Structure 1
Amino acid sequence: MASASFYFPLSSSSAHLLVSFFGMSYVGSLYLTKYTRLSFRPAAQPPQSEQDYGRRPNDRGRDDLEVIQARLVAVTAATILNCLVVFWTIRSIGRGISDGSSSAVDVTTAYLGLKLPTLSLESIYPHLLAPILFIGPLYAHYLFESLPFQRKWNFQLNVVDQLFSWIGIRNYFMAPITEELVFRSCVLSVYHLAGVSRNKLIFLAPLAFGFAHVHHAWENYNRLGRTPAAAKRAIFMSLFQLAYTTLFGFYTSYVFLRTGSIYPAISSHIFCNFMGVPQLGYELSVFPTKKIALWITYFAGIIGFFWNLSTYTRSSSSIYWTNTSASL
């Protein structure tokens, strides 16, 4: 497959429409049926904190088993649909393959980053970047004695129950896989076909991923009691989520474009979901005698991440980074 030599023109307006469809179909699938929608009864007394909000018999939260199962089916269907739309787009406009030996399926597989890489150090390195960034939080887990095989770690609780419950399947498998396929593979592929520059692919395209999480504000508003204070808290939580999901999107977009593979983005997403948001302030308060070590490991992780970012994502097979049509 002569990956660096073919380019499929797509208008910017068409690309924007397709990206809008990707986002709306994915988020919209969460509200498509009564089985996927959430519902909350108003609280008799507004809760004083998030923990005070009590579940009522008719409430349907995102962690209810029926809701999780229905939403997993919905987002899986939406993801497959969006990948098929990319295939249809490439099949419709991709008639200029240089050697005529690559089918639309082959080209779509390449654009979506689905081709399995050959096992090598080059293919392993991108998966190490997120753990390097989290050296500080990993050290904190060591201090808490909660790393694998430490005193407070339990295989049943920390692996079986956490990873393979329905909530775990959603958080650590289905959400990372479907979100990366839609908001990285599909979004970046159509923007690339429209000739969008790499800078825009890295720093603007992930906004679609960030804004796709804003719908959680409605759930938080209801869960916190439907009061003015709840509205403010929900807005703040959504803005915070928008910020860190967009930042995460910058990183995974860069990795996807550099490697031409979606798998490092998925593994990073799984790892970051498992680790959660770093809690340096809390860790400093719990381990006051380890403040210097905590600061050093946090900074070491950040420095090590940026130091190795370019080297660990170097690839000779990415159609995104070698194609001059999407230059910096």
Structure 2
Amino acid sequence: MPLVFDAPPISTSTAHLLTFFFAFSYVGSLYISKNARLSFSKHAAKSANGSPREKLRDERWRDDPGVIRARLVAVTIATTLCCGLVFWILRSVVGDRQDGLELTVDTTITRLGFKLYRWDLDAVYPHLITPLLFLGPLYATYLGHRLPLQARWSFRVDVKSKFCSWIGIRNYVMAPITEEVVFRGCVLAVYHMSGASTRRMIFLGPLSFGLAHAHHAWDTYNRYGRTASAAKRAIIMSLFQLSYTTIFGFHCSYLFLRTGSIYPAISAHVFCNIMGVPEITWELRRFPHRKTAIILAYIVGVAGFAYTLEPWTRFGGLYWRSRPYNNMSY
């Protein structure tokens, strides 16, 4: 049985510092190794027509296989370090008990959301909430005959080429796993140990996740030619990404806290990376004869998401207690 506390073992300021350290470690790991750092030529030509410029031979961009491999190693080490820090905090609280190491390991696994609580159908429901929200985009994909086994779907293109490339491994495997473990598991674990309320954890924790994506602005600025227009594009894209990732973080934090499990948050992350940002305007232009049906699918998806969000996430655990705040187990 995992360890619970009668009082918060760390302060709120300590939780803030740890959250900053987690984010700094994760993003900073991408720039420690020379192989993981990006490189842009000062003599590159300007981009045209609002498109990225051509990559020069001596440059290193974020989608280069060598850069991706180095960064995957870096974030794996950073994620392990963050989990180790949570373990160390819990170990210092446990003290010199005879079963201290075993208790700390069990508590760390539980608080990071790695423990599997059940194997019944209820364990599946949390993984279906995010696809339900995307009912509109899924319907548009169906209209384009791009769902699995439809006419325009191809195993070679839509599975092998997409998921078995280095970009696919980064986008659909390593990034969702490591980001959720660090920015959901580790961040929410320390905020919970500081005595933060559930609402505060949902809306405060994901801010670090959103800010952690701000470093992509430098990449955008260079790929689009280092002009005033490129700077404007980088700022706009970063602000949009900050907003989108923060809102997405609210959702994954809720899933994590309600279920006490990291796996629904990871599956939601994978699914959203596959689907991308919904583009209802483009979908309505592409299928003008199905405008009403597309809009209805979006509405039903949002309504279904709101209706199922609570009943489909009833796992319980340490993070979601019905007792008053001052009687919570930390």
Bin the TM-score by the shorter chain.
over 0.9
Q: Give the Cα separation in 2 of the matches to 1:133 and 1:52.
A: 32
CA shift digits 1:243-295 (9 cap, x unpaired): 00000000000110000000000000000000001111001001111000000
Structure 1, unmatched stretches of 5+, are none
Aligned pairs for 1:94-243 (under 5 A) are 94-95=94-95, 103-243=103-243
1:320 aligns with 2:319: yes
Identity of aligned residues (%): 54
Provide the secondary structure at the position in 2 that maps to 1:321: coil
Aligned-residue offset at 1:49: 3.7
Describe how 1:33-72 pairs up with structure 2 within 5 A: 33-42=33-42, 44-72=44-72
Q: Residue 40 of structure 1 aligns to a residue in which SS?
A: coil
| In 1, Cα distance between equivalents of 2:326 and 2:32 | 36
Instruction: State the shift of 1:195 in Å.
Output: 0.3
1:184–1:253 CA contact under 8 A, matched in 2: yes
With the length of structure 1 as denominator, give the TM-score of the two structures.
0.95
SS at match of 2:220: helix
Q: Distance in 1 between matches of 2:176 and 2:7?
A: 29
Deviation at 1:101, TM superposition (A): 10
- Structure 1 residue 160 displacement after superposition: 1.0
For 2:2 and 2:33, the matched residues in 1 are separated by: 44
Q: Which residue of 1 aligns with 2:91?
A: 91
1:42, distance to aligned residue in structure 2 (A): 3.5
RMSD: 2.1
Partner of 2:311: 311
Count of residue pairs the alignment pairs up: 326
Provide the C-alpha distance between the structure 1 equivalents of 2:227 and 2:326, rounded to a whole number of angstroms: 48
Q: Is the CA contact 1:7–1:96 (under 8 Å) kept in the aligned structure 2?
A: no
Distance 2:8 2:319 in 1: 12
What residue in structure 1 maps to residue 292 of structure 2? 292
The Cα of 1:58 is off from its aligned counterpart by: 1.1
The answer to whether the 8 Å contact 1:8/1:90 transfers is no
Aligned-pair distance for 1:30? 0.5
- Specify every segment of 5 or more residues in structure 2 that has no aligned partner in the other structure, as ranges: none
Kindly tell me: are residues 39 and 49 of structure 1, through their superposed partners in 2, closer, same or farther at Cα, counting changes over 3 Å? farther
Rounded Cα–Cα distance in structure 2 between residues aligned with 1:160 and 1:6: 51
The 1:143–1:269 alpha-carbon spacing in structure 2 relative to 1, beyond 3 Å, is same
Q: CA deviation at 1:41?
A: 1.3
The 3 A distance-change label for structure 1 pair 326 and 132 is farther
Match of 1:32 in 2: 32
For residue 51 of structure 1, report the CA deviation from its aligned partner.
2.9
Query: Which amino acid is the alignment partner of residue 80 of structure 2?
Result: I
State the Cα deviation string for residues 136-173 of structure 1 (Å, max 9, x = none).
Answer: 00000001100000111001111111011111000000
Instruction: Answer yes or no: is the 8 Å Cα contact 2:52–2:223 preserved in 1.
Output: no
Match of 1:270 in 2: 270
CA distance in 2 between counterparts of 1:60 and 1:100 reads 47
Separation in 2, partners of 1:4, 1:19? 21
